[in-house]
Amino acid sequence: MSNIASLESELLTAVSSAKDEVALEAVRVAALGKSGSVSALLKTLGAMTPDERKVQGPAINGLKDKVGAAIAARKDELAASALDSRLASETVDVTLPVREAPAESGRVHPISQVIDELTAIFADMGFAVAEGPDIETDDYNFTKLNFPEGHPAREMHDTFYFNPKPDGSRLLLRTHTSPVQVRTMLSQKPPIRVICPGRTYRSDSDQTHTPMFHQVEGLVIDKGSHLGHLKWILQEFCKAFFEVDNVNMRFRPSFFPFTEPSLEVDIQCKRGKDEIRFGEGEDWLEILGCGMVHPNVLKNCGLDPDEYQGFAWGMGIDRIAMLKYGMHDLRAFFEADQRWLDHYGFRPLDFPTLAGGLSS
């Protein structure tokens, strides 16, 4: 066998037995590299006679091309089998459950959920949301709301007071959200349609009362606002919030210093062992207080009671949240127990909307 023929069979065997791309590259360098065996043969052409070169030239170049082609083919083969083994080992199990993204694993507290729900309902009726500070003045929390100085009605609210200032005035934690409406009347011109959800504070603590709780109040001021409007708004609210087609409501006379007349509102319900249903039954459940804004309050807030009249209502958020979502112990709301929140909390990206469903 000639030199060339034996080198060829040696190189082709080395190429076909190269196990990976690194081994194949070593074969290439040993054959076609600068000091490779094929390159060495090519260099011998220069010293040959023209007749020898005519024969050896095509033979050596043929060897170079053949080995080059074999290396390229083996390279493709190795790349394909490397891909095959990756495809075989790196599988994705598409039947595994989707892992929750961190942004979705948190939960919305039921109070926040209920505030979002009632905001959606009242926004649909044209109400804006107003907010104010938790720390208030005696003037905004009581005096402007027609609680006269030294009047027993002030004692009805177990107020948390701060230490008096040198001038004798005392700040306090607001006992209701009404000061937000006072601020709204003082800073905006009628017509006014606002709801004021937020934290309120009273020094009271037992099974059904926590020192901090949540209220939502509503206020409408215009030239012709009357109790008929108020009844319609409350009825629509109750139907939407409790997600029933019909509610029966009962309006009973009551007293609040800031409204005249004042009314308390019950909705008809059926109490079961572990649930309460609205729109049926013979029981009554008190859910809110309301009335026509007292002329003194309008005056105190810069409005002429001969030109404007309005109505307002107030409702406990914690209680309606418990009613709607079947939570029995008010205190669990504020214990920040992760297990309670995992159970009763809401998914963060499910925003309540009237069209999409409030509690879905």
Q: Which residues bind ligand 2NL (CB under 6 A)?
A: 178, 181-182, 215, 217, 219, 256, 258-259, 289-291, 293, 297, 312-316
3 state SS for 306-329: CCCEEEEEEEEHHHHHHHHHCCCC
CB of 186 to ligand 2NL, least distance (A): 10
Q: How many beta carbons lie within 10 A of that of residue 248, not counting itself? A: 15
Q: How many beta carbons lie within 10 A of that of residue 27, not counting itself? A: 23
Between 110 and 291, whose beta carbon lies closer to ligand 2NL?
A: 291
Q: How far apart are CA 340 and CA 334, in angstroms?
A: 10
CB of 224 to ligand 2NL, least distance (A): 18
Between 27 and 194, whose beta carbon lies closer to ligand 2NL?
A: 194
CB of 96 to ligand 2NL, least distance (A): 49
Q: Which residues contact 141 (CB under 8 A, 6 or more apart)?
A: 159, 172, 174, 175, 176, 178, 179
CB of 309 to ligand 2NL, least distance (A): 11
Between 58 and 302, whose beta carbon lies closer to ligand 2NL?
A: 302
Distance between first and last Cα of the chain: 86
Q: How far apart are CA 325 and CA 348, in angstroms?
A: 17
**Which one, of 174, 211, 212, lies nearest residue 196 by Cα?**
174
Between 71 and 290, whose beta carbon lies closer to ligand 2NL?
A: 290
CB of 219 to ligand 2NL, least distance (A): 6
Token digits for 297? 């309050």
Between 71 and 238, whose beta carbon lies closer to ligand 2NL?
A: 238
CB of 348 to ligand 2NL, least distance (A): 29
Q: Is 129 helix (H, G, I), strand (E, B) or coil?
A: strand
Largest distance between two CA atoms of the chain: 130
Between 7 and 269, whose beta carbon lies closer to ligand 2NL?
A: 269
CA 87 to chain centroid, in Å, comes to 39
Q: Minimal CB distance to ligand 2NL: which residue? A: 314
Token digits for 283? 């029981």
CB of 273 to ligand 2NL, least distance (A): 28
Between 57 and 191, whose beta carbon lies closer to ligand 2NL?
A: 191
CB of 113 to ligand 2NL, least distance (A): 20
Tokens 């009973």 belong to residue: 252
Residue type, 17: S
Between 182 and 321, whose beta carbon lies closer to ligand 2NL?
A: 182
Cross-strand bridge partners of residue 219: 194, 312
Phi-psi domain of 293 (left: phi exceeds 0; alpha: psi -120 through 50; beta: other) = beta
CB of 316 to ligand 2NL, least distance (A): 5
CB 192 within 8 A of CB 219: yes
Residue type, 248: N
Q: How far apart are CA 166 and CA 163, in angstroms?
A: 10
Between 305 and 316, whose beta carbon lies closer to ligand 2NL?
A: 316
